[in-house]
Amino acid sequence: MKILPYNFQNLKKTSAILTGFVFFMVLFYCCHPVKPQYYVSQFIFNYEGDKYRIRTIHTGDRKISYNELIGKNFVAADFDQDRIIDQVTMGETNLSKVQEIYDYSLTMLTKENKLQETTPDIQQYYQQNDLFDFEIKSFRPLNSDPFNQFKIIDKHPTSPNISIYIDLQADGTLDNTLKGTNLTPEIQAEYTDVLATGLQNNKLVKINNTILVKEK
């Protein structure tokens, strides 16, 4: 999801771009002409009596573009702008609660016709069987260690159930539940199997103890 200034443009994979009344800033990396310019658009809203901000940060060429949700005591990032918070980058807070706040803001902006969808370029690996779809996304933030997001889509119900988990060190061990069913040994076993198949098919790469989706 990307937040846009008054001259509205694009944002996510189903990513959300804000097209309403937003504040716009340009951050310059001064004194060095080679450094890129970073543009920041933001939207301020209230949720359950507290004030929050969503902001989209991107370079002029759009090679880097991500969203941040900012609260009083935390900053969380949606690196691939797919409506899912990927990491709390500052502070300590409940990831599920942060996702709830993020969902609320996107729903509100969608109803007001202030979001626009785009398709980001992200590194993903897919696998499926008769009952489930599996997806691994690898994130390589500029200022922190890489990590993986593991998604399971249960295709059996009339309305598919989606569960999402985070492997903070990309070391093959799931650490947190982002959405859906609580983390169990069975889910860890599924993740281990998907990683093994991805490595075998040369879709994932293992460097030291880190397993990531291959970069294109």
**pLDDT, tens digit, 9 for 90 and up, residues 139-153:** 887 667 889 999 999
183 in a structural domain: yes
Question: Could you tell me how far CA 196 lies from the centroid of its own chain?
Answer: 24
Residue-level pLDDT at 151: 95
- Which range (38-47, 125-134, 164-173, 190-199) has the least confidence? 38-47
167 in a structural domain: yes
Vertex 134, ends 132 and 140: CA angle to 5°?
A: 165
Task: For residue 59, give both structure tokens.
Answer: 């370079």
Domain of 197?
124-213
117 in a structural domain: no
How many structural domains is the chain composed of?
2
23 in a structural domain: yes
- Backbone φ and ψ of 105, nearest 5°: -65, -40
Regarding whether 61 and 16 lie in a shared domain, the answer is yes
Say what the pTM is: 0.65
Regarding whether 145 and 69 lie in a shared domain, the answer is no
The more confident residue out of 32 and 188 is 188
119 in a structural domain: no
Question: DSSP 3-state assignment of 165?
Answer: strand
The type of residue at 106 is L
Residue-level pLDDT at 9: 34
118 in a structural domain: no
**pLDDT, tens digit, 9 for 90 and up, residues 25-41:** 333 334 444 566 778 88
Regarding whether 152 and 96 lie in a shared domain, the answer is no
Regarding whether 176 and 75 lie in a shared domain, the answer is no
146 in a structural domain: yes
Residue-level pLDDT at 23: 36
* Radius of gyration for the alpha carbons in the chain, expressed in angstroms and rounded: 18
